[in-house]
Structure 1
Amino acid sequence: MKIVATIEARMTSSRLPGKVMLPALGRPMLAHLTSRLKAAPSIDEIVLATTVNAADDILVDFAKKDGIRVFRGSEEDVMARVIGAAESAQADVVVEITGDCPIIDPDLVEQTIRVFKHHQVAYCANSFFSSYPDGMDTQVITLDALKKSFSMTDDPLDREHVSRHIVNNPQLFPHAYLVAPPSLHWPGLGLTLDEPADYELIRTLIENLGKENPLFGCGDVIRFLRVNPELLGVNDMVKRKDLRPT
């Protein structure tokens, strides 16, 4: 069973263009993310799932230098792009990650994969119930389930948000879920890279925690912010998308 992480990334984000290549400690955000996924033992390969737009040529160059596979597909039909990326790596299982989660915790990624394997389900996520900080989101899906879902829906929202149809049809796709323990429970904490204020906070976290431990975890972030609560005001006005079951 080959487990492949796909990273959805593009340079033309409406709210923060070029966000995945913004620097922190001398490295682009995307490099921080790939380093973390490489640290998850169960992931066999990483594929950068970007678009055919010329603006994303820089991401293709990054992938080559970073030693990961790259796949280019539709900008609008993200589900098709992720499926193409997974197929290009002969994946059996997809660990779906978005490029706006540069400080995702590799231990949480690994835990989600292990729960998925233990329960032998079609879909497993730590984001189904709002409990972990936003930005730790990991979804693990069999490629067969993803392709079946693709064949069943033409809804543009389903095609844009890869797992939406699967999440809304648990009777067709058996689910398993992770819920944060008390020490990591902070669903209102925004650690996704959506707007300039998010970049300011995430860069600050990387600069303060990443020098000693480049793979600092979710617990490290929470403890740091508890000690430095003034940082919570940096991005607390950013509105987040909520795509949990409708």
Structure 2
Amino acid sequence: MKIGIITQARATSTRLPAKVLLTAGGRTFLQHHLDHLQATGLPVIVATTTNIDDEPIVELADRLGLGVFRGSELDVLNRFAGAIREHELDGVVRVTSDCPLIDPQVVAAGVDRFRAEADENLYVSNCLERTYPRGMDYEIFSGARLLKADADATLPADREHVTSYLHQNRTGDMRLVNLPWTDSPAPDASKYRLTLDTADDRELLTRLIEDFDGAALNIADLVAIMDKHPELHALNEHIEQKKLGE
């Protein structure tokens, strides 16, 4: 079974324009993200758009020797379907490029579970019920099921958000599995935001990377820092995540 990671990235983000191309610790947030994905040992494909603004994203992926697929900006489901076909993936790990500190071992554990069952109807994630901080999210599913979703999904939210057709179980035959963080050192690690969506998120991630060498740390170490330094959590605890369909 060929499993690859597809990460979606674009420069035309609205809350924080070109956020993945901003830098911390001498590297773009996108490069931090891709470094962590490459550490899984899986093929990594960057799914970006045909917009000229996304040329720097393509150039970085090419420089790192990663796969690239360019498609629709708004129909992200179709963009993923094109990447699956072009790279002939049987299984897909979907992540988003606003997760510069995503822990490769967290992703690898999800892949191990998916491989063990090899069920085309299986959907594995760590955020159906949130125990990890935002910024550690992954979803794993069969390429065939996403291609079917691309053929059948008509709701605009399903076209934009890629996997809602699967995890909302619109066909009634998906088997949804959530992998919680069972050894979390924090009472509620899900309250933390290690994702990049706003200027306040950027401030937190920059502090973690530049002051605590956060790009070299695993999830347990990052959460331990957040627990020890409540002033870091205060930087972005007020941010509300966009809801499905917004």
By the TM > 0.5 criterion, same fold?
yes
| Match status 1:209 vs 2:206 | no
Distance 1:97 1:200 in 2: 22
CA contact (8 A) 1:79 1:159 kept: yes
Q: Which runs of 5+ in 1 are unaligned?
A: none
What is the DSSP-based 3-state SS (H/G/I as helix, E as strand, rest coil) of the residue aligned with 2:185?
Answer: helix
CA shift digits 1:45-68 (9 cap, x unpaired) = 111100011111111111111111
- Number of aligned pairs? 240
Residue 206 of structure 1 aligns to a residue whose secondary structure is: helix
Q: 1:205-243 deviations in whole A, cap 9, x for unaligned?
A: 111332xx7431111111111111111111111111344
Aligned to 1:115: 113
- Which runs of at least 4 in structure 1 moved beyond 4 Å after TM superposition? none
Q: Kindly provide the amino acid, as one letter, of the partner of residue 226 in structure 1.
A: D
- Structure 2 letter corresponding to 1:201: L
Q: Give secondary structure in 2 for the equivalent of 1:183.
A: coil
Q: Residues of 2 paired with 1:223 and 1:234: CA distance?
A: 16
Which residue does 2:11 correspond to in 1? 11
Q: 1:183, CA displacement in angstroms?
A: 2.2
| 8 Å contact kept, 1:125–1:178 | yes
CA contact (8 A) 2:185 2:224 kept: no
1:235 and 2:236 correspond: yes
Letter in 2 for 1:231: L
Q: State whether residues 123 and 139 of structure 1, in contact with CA within 8 Å, keep that contact through their aligned partners in structure 2.
A: yes
**1:40 counterpart residue number:** 40
- Superimposed CA distance per residue, residues 107-151 of structure 1 (whole angstroms, 9 cap, x where no aligned partner): 100011111122334211001111111110010111001111222
What secondary structure does 1:113 align onto? Answer: helix
Residue 135 of structure 2 corresponds to which residue in structure 1?
A: 135
2:226 maps to 1:225: yes
Does structure 2 conserve the Cα–Cα contact (< 8 Å) formed by 1:105 and 1:215?
A: no
Distance 2:219 2:243 in 1: 20
Q: Which amino acid aligns with 2:206?
A: R
Aligned residues with identical type, % of pairs: 35
The normalised TM-score by structure 1 is 0.93
How far the C-alpha of 1:84 sits from its partner, in A, is: 1.0
How many Å separate the matches in 2 of 1:72 and 1:80? 10
Q: Is the 8 A contact 2:157 2:244 kept in 1?
A: no
Look up the match of 2:193.
190
TM-score for both structures, normalised by structure 2: 0.93
Structure 2 distance, partners of 1:124, 1:138, is: 8
Conserved in 2, the CA contact under 8 Å of 1:134 and 1:189?
A: yes
| Partner SS, residue 69 of structure 2 | strand
Q: 1:56 aligns with which of 26, 41, 54?
A: 54
- Structure 2 distance, partners of 1:77, 1:215, is 34
Summarize deviations over 1:131-174 as a string: whole Å, max 9, x none. Answer: 11111001011100111122221111001111101111173222
- In structure 2, the gaps of 5 or more residues are none
Alignment deviations for residues 165-197 of structure 1 (CA, whole Å, 9 cap, x no partner) = 111117322222101224264111111100010
* In 2: Cα distance, 1:146 partner to 1:22 partner: 31
Is the 1:106–1:215 Cα contact (8 Å) retained in structure 2? no
Contact 2:9 2:97 in 1 (8 A): yes
Contact 2:101–2:215 under 8 Å retained in 1 = no
Moved more, 25-34 or 80-89: 80-89
